[in-house]
Amino acid sequence: MSGPTSQRTQVNRLRELQQTDRAALDEVLDAGNVAHVAVVDGEQPYALPMAYVRDDDRLLLHGSTGSRLMRLLAEGAPACATVTLYDGLVVARSAFESSMHYRSAMVLGRCQAASDPLDALRCLTDGLLPGRWAEVRPTTGKELAGTLVVELPIDEWSVKVSGDDPEDPPQDVALDIWAGVLPASTVYGAPRPSHDLRAGIPIPPSVRSFLARVAEDNAG
Split at pLDDT 50, 70, 90, the class of 195 is very high
Farthest-apart Cα atoms in the chain, separation: 68
The whole-number pLDDT of residue 180 equals: 97
Please give the C-alpha separations between residue 73 and each of 28, 60, 142, in angstroms, as whole numbers: 23, 11, 22
The Cβ-side half-sphere exposure at 27, using a 13 Å CA radius, reads 11
The DSSP 8-state label assigned to residue 129 in this structure reads: S
Asked if pLDDT for residue 1 goes beyond 60, the answer is no
Kindly compute the dihedral angle of the four CA atoms of residues 197, 203, 206, 209, in this order, to the nearest 10 degrees.
150
**CA atoms of 9 and 24, how far apart (whole Å):** 15
Q: What type of residue sits at position 146?
A: G
126 contacts 57 by C-beta, under 8 angstroms:
no
Torsion of CA 49, 69, 125, 88, to 10 degrees: -10
Domain boundaries, given as residue ranges, for the chain: 7-188
**Phi, psi (deg, nearest 5) at residue 123:** -60, -40
Angstrom distance (rounded) from CA 71 to CA 85: 28
pLDDT at 189 over 80: yes
pLDDT at 9 over 80: no
pLDDT of 37 strictly over 70:
yes
* 55-113: pLDDT as tens digits: 999 999 999 999 999 999 999 999 999 999 999 999 999 999 999 999 999 999 999 99
pTM of the model: 0.90
φ, ψ for residue 200 (rounded to 5)? Answer: 95, -5
8 Å CB contact between 118 and 165? no
**Average confidence score pLDDT of the chain:** 92
pLDDT tens digits, 199-216: 999 999 999 999 999 888
Confirm or reject CATH 2.30.30.90 for domain 7-188, answering yes or no.
Answer: no
Quick check: 218 pLDDT over 90?
A: no
Q: Which of 129, 132, 144, 136 is nearest to 62 (CA)?
A: 144
Task: Indicate if the pLDDT at residue 8 is higher than 90.
Answer: no
Beta carbons within 8 Å of 42's beta carbon, 6+ residues apart: none
- For residue 11, the model assigns a pLDDT of 79
Q: Which residues pair with 46 in a beta bridge?
A: 39
Give pLDDT tens digits for 123-151: 999 999 999 999 999 999 999 999 999 99
| pLDDT tens readout for residues 116-130 | 999 999 999 999 999
For 153-175, what is the mean pLDDT? Answer: 94
Kindly provide the b/e burial profile for residues 190-206, where b requires at least 16 CB atoms within 10 angstroms of the residue's own CB.
Answer: eeeeeeeeeeeeeebeb
Helix (H) or strand (E) holding 27: helix 22-31
Which pLDDT belongs to residue 209? 96
